[in-house]
Structure 1
Amino acid sequence: MATKQSVDLKAADKLLKQFAKVVNSDHAVRKIKKDEVLSCGVDLGTSSIVLTVLDKDDNIIYGAFEYAKAVRDGIVVNYVDSVNILKRLKHKAEDVLGVELTTACGAIPPGTGEGAAKIVANVIESAELECKHVVDEPTAAARFLNLKTGTVVDIGGGTTGISVFNHGKLTQVLDEATGGFHMTLVLAGNHKIKSDDAELLKRDPQKEPEVFPVIRPVVEKMATIVKDSVGPSVKQPVVVVGGAINFKEFIPAFSKVLGIPAYKTAFPQFITPLGIAMYDHD
């Protein structure tokens, strides 16, 4: 439902469910004209790389992703793999759409600096796309959500990014190195298993009753980061996004520590990639 703070979560859910159906399929939402202008977003995440395609009116056209270990704590650590994966995603999208993709935007966690932005841009350019912009991830998420006043918490594989907005103005941006990767490490240590096995265990929805009690302290730390970093200046609503929050108990546990309600949408891992693409026609 839409919150009283005017973020239409129901509308966001509808779009995200549409994207989830089309991502990695062999079909676009509709047929593309040869001269049509498309917008692309590239999200180089810790656990996956996502390519999103929108039309000039920000309607969803197509998407694709591939699991990857090319990024750590928001920084590209395997340049070659990142480029090769993005090339595969680009070519797959072009085969489905029947047109060439020429431009794209990327994103980085807040506060990671110009160097990180340059590397992301270089990955995009090396995949034969012109990089139009590199934005910070929570701001991209806010654009998709059409959030004017509120706080976006983007929990990725390696970081917790926070962006606070007031009447359309970005007032605070910060980032801390705690994310889904840290959940995996805690889970691996608790079960005395390899990190890769812990990651698979974490992704299995049927294992949540076993997994979440173990990773709850990491979730509580994420909420504490937001509470301590933003404090009284936090703006409501607080919307949490990112693939690391796909647990039924995440939002209740997060909200309890934060002290105010937090919200999430369906398929929160796709919010930031879709928001990134919206910058491609600016």
Structure 2
Amino acid sequence: MSKRDLNYEYCDQLIRDFEDVVEQPIVSKSSVYYTGVDLGTACVVLAVLDENYKPVAGAYRYADVVRDGMVVDYIGAIKVVRELKQELEVKLDAELIYGAAAIPPGTDILDSGAVKNVVQAAGFELTNLLDEPTAANKVLGIQNGAVVDIGGGTTGISILKNGEVVYIADEPTGGTHFSLVVSGAYGMSFKEAELYKREPRNHKELLPVLKPVVEKISSIINQHIKNHDVKEIYLVGGTCCLTGIEDIIEKNTGIFTHKPQNPMFVTPLGIAFSCTQESID
């Protein structure tokens, strides 16, 4: 088994473990808990690790508090994070003190303050704030390649060489655009389209309908990797849950494309791995 295959297996096993503790938290009385807060466009996810950085609990909620990677409902975002935090504290019978968060690449000047304030106002001591694809790579463990984080509003790209991020970009195209296309094609409301596309049983039928948007995402990836020697693409983010998206991207980029099991949970777990006990200002 190659090192690459070992990385895939580690990543997928970690996500399976996290899915298990979302359903059934591990109450272990850890000396400290590390929480990753992922404020997504479509979904807010909290991932909790114990003192050994093992998944022990998690929760998520679909919410419309972020658009195109930017916090648009500040009070609503605080409320969702605080409620998820309190829900997990009850399940773990422990206080969650330390939290880390992430933002789309290149948006630190515009939105890092808002994300920081949301996490702190929800009751966490913020210990780290990093870009989303870099957070995802804490789980993926990539040395060379491109991490493509396709969220609700944007597609974030990080290119890594020798384990270091050498290029980041963020472009407005993502799951929101999927929902708009589904809404138009099926005569549904936007909300109905959001729910319809989340059902895996609808993906085979939806893939041809959404193919033009996936091809647009592929062209964005091509544009940003053209000056870099990228031989592998790794997909993360909730929008990548669409069955078959990886095949279209691989065909349009000509580059091997890997999608982990449940790509929605890669980034929040990576954020949690970045959490420490040292608060940032």
TM-score range, shorter chain: over 0.9
Letter in 2 for 1:153: V
Residue 39 of structure 2 is matched in structure 1 by: 44
Residue 21 of structure 1 is matched in structure 2 by: 20
What per-residue deviation string (whole Å, max 9, x for no partner) do you get for residues 191-244 of structure 1? 222100111111111112221111111111111111111114043321101110
| Number of residue pairs the alignment of both structures matches | 277
Letter in 1 for 2:11: A
Task: Specify whether residues 268 and 47 from structure 1 end up closer, same or farther in structure 2 by C-alpha distance, changes over 3 A only.
Answer: same
Task: Specify whether residues 3 and 200 from structure 1 end up closer, same or farther in structure 2 by C-alpha distance, changes over 3 A only.
Answer: farther
Alignment of 1:166-177 (within 5 A): 166-177=161-172
2: CA distance between counterparts of 1:84 and 1:177? 26
| Alpha-carbon shift at residue 148 of structure 1 (Å) | 2.1
Letter in 2 for 1:250: I
Q: Which runs of 5+ in 1 are unaligned?
A: none
Q: Which runs of 5+ in 2 are unaligned?
A: none
| Alpha-carbon shift at residue 3 of structure 1 (Å) | 6.0
| Alignment check: 8 A CA contact 2:37 2:44 kept | yes
1: CA distance between counterparts of 2:165 and 2:51? 25
Residue 258 of structure 1 is matched in structure 2 by: 253
Alignment of 1:231-250 (within 5 A): 231-250=226-245
Task: Specify whether residues 217 and 3 from structure 1 end up closer, same or farther in structure 2 by C-alpha distance, changes over 3 A only.
Answer: farther
Letter in 1 for 2:266: I
Letter in 1 for 2:20: K
TM-score (norm 1): 0.94
RMSD: 1.5
| Alpha-carbon shift at residue 115 of structure 1 (Å) | 3.1
2: CA distance between counterparts of 1:232 and 1:179? 23
Residue 82 of structure 1 is matched in structure 2 by: 77
Alignment of 1:20-169 (within 5 A): 20-23=19-22, 25=23, 27-33=24-30, 36-169=31-164
| Alpha-carbon shift at residue 6 of structure 1 (Å) | 6.5
Task: Specify whether residues 117 and 231 from structure 1 end up closer, same or farther in structure 2 by C-alpha distance, changes over 3 A only.
Answer: same
Confirm or deny that 1:178 pairs with 2:173: yes
| Alpha-carbon shift at residue 30 of structure 1 (Å) | 4.3
Confirm or deny that 1:8 pairs with 2:3: no
Equivalent position SS for 2:226: helix
Q: Percent same amino acid among aligned pairs?
A: 38
| Alignment check: 8 A CA contact 1:46 1:157 kept | yes
Task: Specify whether residues 222 and 234 from structure 1 end up closer, same or farther in structure 2 by C-alpha distance, changes over 3 A only.
Answer: farther
Task: Specify whether residues 257 and 62 from structure 1 end up closer, same or farther in structure 2 by C-alpha distance, changes over 3 A only.
Answer: same
| Alignment check: 8 A CA contact 2:150 2:240 kept | yes
Equivalent position SS for 2:86: helix
Task: Specify whether residues 234 and 215 from structure 1 end up closer, same or farther in structure 2 by C-alpha distance, changes over 3 A only.
Answer: farther
2: CA distance between counterparts of 1:84 and 1:46? 15
1: CA distance between counterparts of 2:135 and 2:248? 25
2: CA distance between counterparts of 1:234 and 1:223? 16
Equivalent position SS for 1:193: coil
TM-score (norm 2): 0.94
Residue 191 of structure 1 is matched in structure 2 by: 186
What per-residue deviation string (whole Å, max 9, x for no partner) do you get for residues 164-188 of structure 1? 1111211000110000111111111
| Alignment check: 8 A CA contact 2:26 2:92 kept | no
